[in-house]
Amino acid sequence: MEFDKLTASRRGFLGLAGAGGAALALGGAPAEAAKVRTNARILILGAGAGGAAIANRLSDRLEGAQITVLDGKQEHWYQPGFTLIAAGLRPASYSKSSITGWLPRDITFINEYAAELDPEANRVVTTGGQRIDYDYLIVSTGVVLDWDAIEGFDLSMVGPETGIGAQYASPEHAAKTWAAIDRFTSEGGVGLFGRPETEMKCAGAPVKITFLAEDIANTKGNRDKCEFIYTTPGGALFGVPVIHHRVRQIMDERDITYNYRWKLLSIDAQAKTATFDTPEFIETVEWDFINVIAPQRAPQVIRDSGLSWADRWTDEGWIEVDMQTLRHARYPNVFGIGDINGVPKGKTAASVKWHLPVVEDHLVSEIAGREGTRLFDGYTSCPLITRVGRAMLVEFDYQDNLVPSFPGLIAPLEELWISWLMKEVALKATYNAMLRGRA
Amino acid sequence: MEDFSLMTLLAVFEEMFGRGLFWAMVAVAVAITLAWVYVLIRDRAMSMRKFLLAQLSMPVGGIAAVWFVLLITNSGLRDIGGPIDWIVLLGVFVAGAIGFAILVYVVQSFVRGKAADS
C-alpha cells in the first residue's frame, strides 16, 4: 500500500521523506504522555535488562511512585556480547558496566537479593534482612545457571589448559572459553558443543558458538584436524521447525555432526571425557574441547514463593504469567519480564524489549484506573551467527511463524553480512537505548 | 527496531567505530566540507580541471571506505551474501568516493591555489 502511494506520487514520496527527516531530527524524544500521579509502592526484583529498563520507563510515566529495585550484583552484563567474547572478537570488558549507571536517579536501589518472597502478604525480605512491602511486584530476576547439575564440572576448570569452555557463566568465563577455543582450533581434536535439557536463555547461542569455532578452525587452515559434534537433549537443533531445518542444513554442509536426545550428565576433566544419557545407552565420548552450558532454572527464592507454575516446568520454576499480558495468573499485582516468565518462547533480550511496553501499559493503566490493552505475541529474535562476518536474522513468535522486521529487505533464513552487522555493531547500541527506556 | 531514532543511529555508529574515532571522523568530514565551501566561495567557480582529478580519484576513496568498514566489522568480501549486502556495500563505496573526491578537490585548491587553474 505504502509503496503504491510512493510510486504514484513523487510529491507524496517527498512529503514522506520530509516527515521521516523531521522524525529523525526529533529523534530520541518519544512523544511524552502525561505522567500518572500515584503513591504506589513498586518493587522490581533484578536490575538486568528487564529490571533496569522497566525502572526507567516507570520513572518516566509515574509521578510520586515509590520504585525500589533489588539486585545483589554490582555489574550489569550485556549478555548478547558473550558469544562475541567467546569467539575472540571482543574483550571481557565489552559486556561489563556498573549496574547503578543504568538506573534512574529517583528510585531506591538496594544492593541485595531477595531472600524471602510472600505474594500473599505482598512482602519481600532481602538477604540483608530488610523488609519491603509492595503494592506491585515486577519479577525480572532472570535465570540461575545450575552448574552443579553437571557432575564433575566446576567453573574453576574453564580455560585453555583443560580445554573446557563455559561461555554463559560470565564475561571472564567467556574470555577463557575463547582461549580454549583458540587452542582447540589451532591444535585440532574433537570439539563437543551442545545445549542443556531445560528452557534456556538464547537457545541460538550454543549453535552460534559451534558455527563460529568451525569457521575459526577453517580460517586457520586447521579444519581437517578438527571434529565438531553438537549434542541436544531434544529432537531438534532449534525450537522453531523452519529454523531447525535451516540450521541442520548448514551443519550438514559444514560437516558438523549432531546427536539428538543426548543429555550431558557428567564430565571428567582429567580423562577428557563426557558422559551422555542417550536413548539407547549411557555414552562416554572423548573430547579435546567441550563447551559446557548449565541447565537453567528460576532462582530458589522464586521457586519457594509460590509464583511458579505448579504443573509446567516443575523442575525449572518459571513463573505463571499470562502469555500475552505477562501478568501473574494468580496474583494480579505481580508481573514478569524476561527470562523468568513461564511462557513458551522468548528468553532473549529482544523479547525483553517487547515485554517492556506490555508490562508498562498494564501496570500504568491499572494505576490510572483503566484497562491495559497491549499484548505480547511471543516475539523473539536471534541474529544467528553462522560464521565471522555472516548471520541469519531469525525472528519468530508463539506460533513458530517467522516475523521479519525488514520483510523483502533482510531475508530471515539467508546468511547475510547485514545481519552480522546487526549483531556485531547495532545490537549493543539498541540494547543500551532499551535499558535507558528509550527503545 | 521499534522507535529507531537518530540517537540510536548515532549510538550504533559510536559502537561501530568507537566513540572517539567516530566523532573525530565526523569532525574531519565537517572540516573538509567547510573547506570545500570556502574554496568555492573564494574561487567563485568550480574548477573543471580540479574536478576531473577529483573524479578520477573517486574509486580510490570508494575502495578505501569499503576496506575500512570491512576491517572494523571483522568481515570480508566473502561474507557479502544477498542483494541487501551489495546495496549497503555500494552505499559505503559511494559515500567514500564522494568524500574522497571532495577532499582531493579541496587539497588541490589549497596547494595549487586559484591561479593554477587559469
Q: Does B92 lie at the interface with A, CB-CB under 8 angstroms?
A: no
Residue A390's pLDDT is what?
Answer: 97
In-domain check, residue B101: yes
Q: How far apart are the CA of B28 and the nearest CA of chain A, in angstroms?
A: 22
Rounded mean pLDDT of chain A? Answer: 92
Q: How far apart are the CA of A262 and the nearest CA of chain B, in angstroms?
A: 33
- Are the beta carbons of B79 and A417 separated by less than 8 Å? yes
From the list B8, B73, B88, the residue facing A430 with the nearest CB is B8
- Are the beta carbons of B76 and A389 separated by less than 8 Å? yes
Residue A127's pLDDT is what?
Answer: 97
Confidence check: pLDDT of A32 > 90 = no
Residue B17's pLDDT is what?
Answer: 82
In-domain check, residue B110: yes
Pairwise CA distance, residues A90 & B7, whole Å? 24
Residue B65 amino acid letter: A
Q: How far apart are the CA of A386 and the nearest CA of chain B, in angstroms?
A: 10
Contacts with A77 (C-beta within 8 Å, 6 or more apart), sequence order: A48, A95, A96, A170, A171
What share of chain A in percent tops pLDDT 90?
87
At residue A281, φ and ψ (nearest 5 deg) are -155, 180
For the residues A69-89, what does the mean pLDDT come to? 97
Residue B3's pLDDT is what?
Answer: 52
User: Measuring CA to CA, which residue among A123, A360, A39, A396 is closest to residue A242?
Assistant: A396
CB atoms within 10 A of CB A329: 15
Q: Does A121 lie at the interface with B, CB-CB under 8 angstroms?
A: no
- Grid coordinates of A9: 506520487
Residue with cell 527470562: A339
Q: How many domains does chain B contain in total? A: 1
- Whole-model pTM: value is 0.89
From the list B2, B15, B81, the residue facing A417 with the nearest CB is B81
With beta carbons less than 8 A apart as the criterion, state whether A292 and A165 touch: yes
pLDDT band at A33 (very low <50, low <70, confident <90, very high): low
Residue A6's pLDDT is what?
Answer: 34
Structural domain that includes position B10: 6-117
Residue A227's pLDDT is what?
Answer: 98
From the list B1, B74, B81, the residue facing A416 with the nearest CB is B81
Q: Does B18 lie at the interface with A, CB-CB under 8 angstroms?
A: no
Residue A346's pLDDT is what?
Answer: 86
Residue A234's pLDDT is what?
Answer: 96
Each residue's pLDDT tens digit, A118-175: 999 999 999 999 999 999 999 999 999 999 999 999 999 999 999 999 999 999 999 9
Residue A19's pLDDT is what?
Answer: 36
Encode chain B (118 residues) as per-residue pLDDT tens digits. 445 577 778 877 887 788 899 999 999 999 999 999 999 999 888 889 999 999 999 999 999 999 999 998 999 999 999 999 999 999 999 999 999 999 999 999 999 876 555 4
Residue B51 amino acid letter: F
Each residue's pLDDT tens digit, A279-333: 989 999 999 999 999 999 999 999 999 999 999 999 999 999 999 999 999 999 9
From the list A89, A418, A438, the residue facing B88 with the nearest CB is A418
Residue B115 amino acid letter: A
Contacts with A391 (C-beta within 8 Å, 6 or more apart), sequence order: A383, A384, A385, A415, A416, A419, A420, A422, A423
Q: In what order do the strands lie in the sheet with A131-133?
A: A114-118, A123-126, A131-133
In-domain check, residue B93: yes
At residue A268, φ and ψ (nearest 5 deg) are -120, 105
ipTM of the complex: 0.84
Give the least confident one: A176-180, A257-261, A342-346, B94-98.
Answer: A342-346
| Domains in chain A with CATH codes | 36-143+298-367 (3.50.50.60), 147-296 (3.50.50.60)
Helices B58-72 and B48-56: crossing angle, nearest 10°?
A: 40
Residue with cell 523473539: A380
Pairwise CA distance, residues A215 & A182, whole Å? 12
Q: How far apart are the CA of A24 and the nearest CA of chain B, in angstroms?
A: 5
In-domain check, residue B57: yes
From the list A24, A417, A433, the residue facing B75 with the nearest CB is A417
Each residue's pLDDT tens digit, A1-31: 333 333 333 333 333 333 333 333 333 344 4
- Grid coordinates of A428: 549493543
Q: Does A310 lie at the interface with B, CB-CB under 8 angstroms?
A: no
Q: How far apart are the CA of A82 and the nearest CA of chain B, in angstroms?
A: 16
Dihedral through CA A304, CA A308, CA A312, CA A314, nearest 10?
-20
Contacts with B90 (C-beta within 8 Å, 6 or more apart), sequence order: none
From the list A30, A420, A429, the residue facing B11 with the nearest CB is A429
Residue B114's pLDDT is what?
Answer: 66
- b/e per residue A90-104 (b: at least 16 CB within 10 A): bebebbbeebeebbb
Best B2, B5, B22, B69 residue to mutate vs chain A (most A CBs within 10 Å): B5
Pairwise CA distance, residues B89 & A199, whole Å? 39
Taking CA atoms, what residue in A is nearest to B82? A416
In-domain check, residue B79: yes
Best A430, A432, A436, A438 residue to mutate vs chain B (most B CBs within 10 Å): A430
- Grid coordinates of A417: 553480512
Residue A327's pLDDT is what?
Answer: 98
Each residue's pLDDT tens digit, A204-242: 999 999 999 999 999 999 999 999 999 999 999 999 999
With beta carbons less than 8 A apart as the criterion, state whether A91 and A176 touch: no
Q: Does A438 lie at the interface with B, CB-CB under 8 angstroms?
A: yes
Residue A248's pLDDT is what?
Answer: 98
- Are the beta carbons of B74 and A89 separated by less than 8 Å? yes
